[in-house]
Amino acid sequence: MGDAGASALESAILSDAGLGSPELLAVLDHIAHPIFVKDRNFRWVLMNAAAEKLMGFPRVEMLGRTDHDYFPKDEADFFRSKDVETFRTGNTVVVEQEALTDAKGELHTLATTKTPLRDKTGAITHLVGIIHDVTALVRAEGALRVANEDLERRVAERTRALEAAQQDLVRKERLAVLGRLAGGVAHQIRNPLGAIRNAVSVMARHSDDPTHPSFREAIRILQDESIHANRIVTDLVSYARVRSPLPRPLSLPEMVRELVDGLGVPVHERGSHESTAETSGPLLVTGEPGHLVALVVDDVPDAYVDELQTYEALRNLLRNGIEAMPLGGTLHVTVDCPEAAFVRVVVEDEGEGIPESVRRRMFEPLVTTKPTGLGLGLVTAQSLVVSQGGRLEWHQHEGRGARFEVLLPLARARQVNVSARSA
């Protein structure tokens, strides 16, 4: 039986059901989505051309028959359960995904909506099913899921490889730094040890005369070189152990005054309004090139810092400034408050400045311009300042040496921030 026969059969069946209309059948055949109608015995009484093409069976054969005549039992049982639900509840039933095996044995994934049809009395006589073939979409989603899983696997593998490479790089870098550090420490520690050994030899030769000038000079060397060795060890420990800061309100002017007094050089303190004429240029102290600290202290609020860490950072900068002027000069130290949230300590020497060759690496460990330096003081000072929420900035002045600025947070600024967060 051809299309004409199928149309005649559909018309006859639908006419008996009160649904017959040639125009309706023509319209349905032009709709791209598969559409079917079933009676209360679950028999097909209508299907459009798209439904016939999807299922693959001639619709003239399928009319009057049920799902169980054409599809695997598990699929047919599932279709029947949804049909029963539609007739029983009288509500539209939406099936988001269901499987259908067509006449060629190919599996389709369908999204189906089933709606009850009522006669003039309100009784449910049929159901209408509208099908969306989502097979391609499901396959695409499956392919995308597989691709995502593969991508995630590859990313995970790559991440593990990068982590392993990074760990290996860090280990090698640590070993390299340890090697350079060990070499630097060994070189620096041998100098005081050699001087101490020579001094002991001198003392041994003159042990019977402790008043001998060489004996007294040997004692002085022992004292100086033991201090030198202890400084090397202290710098190394300070670099290796930067603990978490324990901040509290602290007066930086008092700390700076204590530090410059401990340098063992003359100090000239003045107010910011006084002339700088008295503190410019190198001084002669007892006929030898000497140093002077020109200290300018403004009336500044307390800083909120760790006292020991701040002391160590500023001590390193002050010591570096003095050592940068071996022929003598003035170390200009200023304490002021140029920014609303920070107290600033400026340390500016009159030495030759930082050589161009080391400027880019000056905050790296073991980088130094001193013949007897270990290269840990500046990098340690930076770590101690930054760990407290501060900044260590550096400037080079032509013909005037180097200028370091330490900016540390104000206690007042912290109280304002805490109050704002609490509000």
Q: CA 76 to CA 108: how far, in whole Å?
A: 14
**pLDDT of residue 336 exceeding 50:** yes
Higher pLDDT, 332 or 238: 332
- Residue 339 CB coordination number (10 Å): 12
Condensed to tens digits (0 to 9), the pLDDT of residues 68-92 reads 999 999 999 999 999 999 999 999 9
pLDDT of residue 219: 75
pLDDT of residue 278: 44
Is the CA virtual torsion 246, 250, 252, 254 positive or negative?
Answer: negative
For 262-386, strand residue ranges (E) read 267-270, 283-285, 288-297, 303-305, 329-339, 342-348
Lowest mean pLDDT among 117-131, 172-186, 257-271: 172-186
pLDDT of residue 320: 81
**pLDDT of residue 66 exceeding 60:** yes
pLDDT of residue 288: 44
The winner for highest mean pLDDT among 180-184, 333-337, 392-396 is 333-337
Q: CA 344 to CA 392: how far, in whole Å?
A: 10
**Mean pLDDT across the stretch 250-263?**
86
What is the homologous superfamily of the domain 3-133 according to CATH?
PAS domain (3.30.450.20)
**pLDDT of residue 121 exceeding 50:** yes
Are 35 and 128 within 8 A, CB to CB? Answer: yes
Higher pLDDT, 151 or 400: 151
Same CATH topology for 3-133 and 246-422: the answer is no
Class for the domain spanning 246-422: alpha beta
pLDDT of residue 164: 85
Q: Tokens at residue 159, please? A: 């991440």
pLDDT of residue 223: 73
Q: What is the CATH code of the structural domain delimited by 163-239?
A: 1.10.287.130
**pLDDT of residue 245 exceeding 50:** yes
Domain layout of the chain by residue ranges:
3-133, 163-239, 246-422
Task: Find tokens 């609020």 and name the residue.
Answer: 301
Q: Rounded to two decimals, what is the model's pTM?
A: 0.44
Q: CA 109 to CA 361: how far, in whole Å?
A: 65
Q: CA 25 to CA 31: how far, in whole Å?
A: 10
Higher pLDDT, 292 or 136: 136
